[in-house]
Amino acid sequence: MRAKPELLAPAGDAECFAAALQFGADAVYVGAKEYGMRAAAKNFDFDALRQAVTLAHAQGVKVYLTANILPRNAEIDTFPAFLDQIRSCGIDAVIAADLGLITMIRSLAPELAVHASTQTGVVNYQTAAALWNMGAERVVLARELSIDEIAEIRAKAPRELELEVFVHGAMCMSVSGRCLLSEYLTGRDANRGACAQSCRWKYALMEEKRPGQYFPVDEDADGSYILNAKDLCLMPYLRELAEAGVDSVKIEGRAKAAYYVAGVTNAYRIALDCLFDTPPRAVPEWVSAELNNVSHRPYTVGFAFGQRKDLIWQEENGYIRDYEVVGIVQKQENGRLYISQRNRFFEGDTVEILMPGTQPPVLTVRGLQNGEGEPIEAANHAVMDCSFLCEIPAPAGAFLRKPVKTGQPPESA
């Protein structure tokens, strides 16, 4: 078997970055305030990026920065100054899609590794080799490839070129994310990080001679979400991907919350460690189940085994969300767990603690107190400090969660 692939996790802000480190990422990819494909995320200013890189490197974790928009002329003019700033932060690689930016990085910052973004649309070995000849050390392959096609690229591309693939998270209905729908409908350019996710909207047909009368595309009374892609999940096929020659497996989600980053990174970390142990171990069922405990759309294997017909989710536009985060562990002291509250919870609630490398333990909230040590029946004020009795060891940064009651919408995390 080939070497264990790198686990690459997303981080849209400092809290997500800390979660990625704590829950087992080998590398983390982030965006700065400019040039990245997730303009809606908080992202990192240069001071915060420098601090994040220092923290990651102290733990042996790499940091890749996204500069993967398709820039216009004015953004080309300002890129050298941007490049000088990110060089000073000590990042390990730049993820870029535009051939002009790739050329500029190689010329102006030859010490920086370049990873060719999935926006480049690499679907064959010839393009992979061309990018290698331009100076790219890694290509992030298009999501539209099968595992067999990945294996062929590995066999025919330069041996030193690293291959990275997405294994989990949101998918785009366009080829490798290159879409004009958002810009056409809202003026927000998806290719420069401002996608309005117009493909997730509910659409209907209107006949020319019957204006104002809307007809669903299919017979479902709620309409049809004909462009609304499911979420990708390739955890069951990590060994096959490694055998095909994949060097890095990537989790999508720079716009996701820290709990999502923690839960998904933790599950893939455990799965990889099991599968690539000597001898290999079966992935525990609870690990796979953890992927259902974060907010997600129904899962699909995408194009891993060829063209698929089950990529679109037509039932509804929202997410499946069975759990909500009610707090983040700050410390444990004298038999009490100290929590920074995120959603309300009550004395007597059944909760779970998501922490690295272990099945989340279940416990009942007893002896609930506010930040002043006074007994309370409910932690119901936003971001309040509170504590309760707990003998189970739990590290700072662990997530306290509880099931969402059936039929009730979850509170925002």
Q: How many structural domains compose the chain?
A: 2
pLDDT digit string (tens) for 136-167? 999 999 998 999 999 999 999 999 999 999 99
Residue after which a domain boundary falls, among 300, 335, 354? 300
Q: Which residue in the block uniquely carries the two structure tokens 């919870």?
A: 345
CA distance readout (Å), 358 to 283, 365, 395 = 12, 20, 12
Structure tokens at 292: 């259902």
Do residues 253 and 113 both lie within one domain? yes
56 C-beta neighbours (distance < 10 Å), count: 23
The answer to whether the CB of 162 falls within 8 A of the CB of 137 is yes
- The answer to whether residue 392 sits within a structural domain is yes
CA distance readout (Å), 411 to 8, 342, 345, 402, 405 = 29, 9, 11, 11, 11
Rg (alpha carbons) of the chain, rounded to whole number? 23
Taking the C-alpha atoms of residue 26 and residue 61, their distance in angstroms, rounded to an integer, is: 5
Domain with residue 73: its CATH number is: 3.20.20.70
The answer to whether the CB of 281 falls within 8 A of the CB of 43 is no
Q: Residue 154: which domain range?
A: 6-172+232-300
CA 177 to chain centre: 15
Taking the C-alpha atoms of residue 108 and residue 50, their distance in angstroms, rounded to an integer, is: 20
50 C-beta neighbours (distance < 10 Å), count: 17
- On the CB side of 180, how many CA atoms lie within 13 Å of its CA? 1
Do residues 123 and 32 both lie within one domain? yes
- The answer to whether residue 220 sits within a structural domain is no
- The answer to whether residue 226 sits within a structural domain is no
Do residues 269 and 399 both lie within one domain? no
pLDDT band, residue 411 (cuts 50/70/90): very low
Do residues 281 and 344 both lie within one domain? no
Do residues 388 and 293 both lie within one domain? no
pLDDT digit string (tens) for 292-322? 999 998 899 988 998 766 766 655 556 788 8
Q: What is the largest CA-CA distance in the chain?
A: 74
3-state secondary structure of 240: helix
Do residues 354 and 277 both lie within one domain? no
Cα dihedral 110→111→113→116 (10° resolution): -20
The answer to whether the CB of 30 falls within 8 A of the CB of 49 is yes
- Among 3-17, 23-37, 241-255, 323-337, the minimum mean pLDDT is found in 23-37
Average pLDDT over residues 228-234: 87
Do residues 285 and 347 both lie within one domain? no
Average pLDDT over residues 87-104: 96
- Among 37-51, 132-146, 182-196, the minimum mean pLDDT is found in 182-196
Do residues 267 and 330 both lie within one domain? no
Do residues 258 and 139 both lie within one domain? yes
Do residues 290 and 328 both lie within one domain? no
Do residues 152 and 251 both lie within one domain? yes
Residue after which a domain boundary falls, among 265, 300, 335? 300
Share of the chain above pLDDT 90, in %: 71
Domain with residue 355: its CATH number is: 2.40.30.10
- The answer to whether residue 314 sits within a structural domain is no
